[in-house]
Structure 1
Amino acid sequence: MTAFDLHVVFDCADPDRLARFWMAALGGYDFPVGVPDGFASWEEWADANSIPEEDRNSGRTLVDRERSRPDIFFLRVPEAKAGKNRVHLDLKVAPGLDGADRRERIEAESARLVELGASVAQRFAEEDGFHLIMRDPEGNEFCLA
């Protein structure tokens, strides 16, 4: 059987903002291409090349520095998110921990992500372990476990 590369794609209203959130949330990701020589920013480049405002920030890409995780794409779409995600990301922030240590690690990471623009949707303290359902700045659900 053929193996395929996997890319994760987010439809969103603000690709740059969401890409920067996930870059900070996940760590180890960067934008794949630097600003062209002679320009201080992509905005400066877009101005110099007469790129209309409505065509800017239509998409962003993140690549893992180690190339061990999938690329993540953020594509601007006109419609807002509606309903619960059918697929979501689970961030394993407390591997090998249990009990109070697990909860403390998850809560600490949750606080960091809230500072970046996420929100806590639900807390679960179940027999198999504590975990959180969170939302990124555009409302996409993800779990901290």
Structure 2
Amino acid sequence: MALTFQVTFDAADPRALGDFWCRVLGYVREEPPGGFVTWEEALTAWGLPEERWNDKNAVRDPDGAGPRIFIQKVPEPKAAKNRMHLDVNVSDGLSGAERIAQVRAEAERVVALGASVVGEMTELGEFWIVLRDPEGNEFCLQ
């Protein structure tokens, strides 16, 4: 039996963070449950007050290959370095200068979406760029 998993983020703004990761990964927001056209319609029908509509968000790979990302609202800000992070492979099949150029180009795109660069890293022949998403969560482009 194959196990499945999701990646969960704590966030101040689950909708905005989900939108960011959709644009980075090519993901889509999870569809509302059956019988509802929009999430707002579902949340209203369930009696959830509008101020709580941004408490949770989920995004997914439209092809079903990548894990679901669940984002939950928390009251406290991020306080320390992640103990776990995402490595996003943007240079599969490339090597040398071509690989480095691809990673740098993707970093520029992701920064335009709201990420910030921590630094470029080279170790044991590998190259990657460490970034932070809009809520400060570290991730790497390789």
* TM-score with structure 1 setting the length: 0.85
Q: 1:128, CA displacement in angstroms?
A: 1.2
Q: Which of 103, 111, 115 matches 2:112?
A: 115
Q: Which of 35, 49, 54 matches 1:52?
A: 49
Are 2:122 and 1:143 aligned?
no
- Alpha-carbon separation, structure 1, partners of 2:141 and 2:17: 18
Q: Output the amino acid matched with 1:10.
A: F
What is the aligned-residue identity percentage? 45
Q: Output the amino acid matched with 2:67.
A: P
Query: Which position in structure 2 is the counterpart of 1:131?
Result: 128
Are 2:95 and 1:98 aligned?
yes
Q: Output the amino acid matched with 2:23.
A: A
Q: Which of 74, 82, 86 matches 1:85?
A: 82
Deviates more, 1:7-16 or 1:52-61: 52-61
Would you say how many aligned residue pairs link Structure 1 and Structure 2? 140
Q: Output the amino acid matched with 2:9.
A: F
Q: Secondary structure at the match of 1:57?
A: coil
Structure 1 gap ranges (5+): none
- Alpha-carbon separation, structure 2, partners of 1:34 and 1:48: 12
Query: Which position in structure 2 is the counterpart of 1:72?
Result: 69
Query: Which position in structure 1 is the counterpart of 2:4?
Result: 5
**Runs of 4+ off more than 4 Å:** 41-51
* TM-score with structure 2 setting the length: 0.87
Q: CA RMSD in A?
A: 2.2
Q: 1:52, CA displacement in angstroms?
A: 2.8
Q: 1:3, CA displacement in angstroms?
A: 3.7
Query: Which position in structure 1 is the counterpart of 2:23?
Result: 24
Q: Report if aligned partners of 2:32, 2:42 keep a CA contact under 8 Å in 1.
A: no
Structure 2 gap ranges (5+): none
Query: Which position in structure 1 is the counterpart of 2:31?
Result: 33
Deviates more, 1:90-99 or 1:11-20: 90-99
Q: Report if aligned partners of 2:10, 2:72 keep a CA contact under 8 Å in 1.
A: yes
Distance 1:7 1:47, change over 3 A: closer
Are 2:70 and 1:63 aligned?
no
- Alpha-carbon separation, structure 1, partners of 2:95 and 2:63: 29
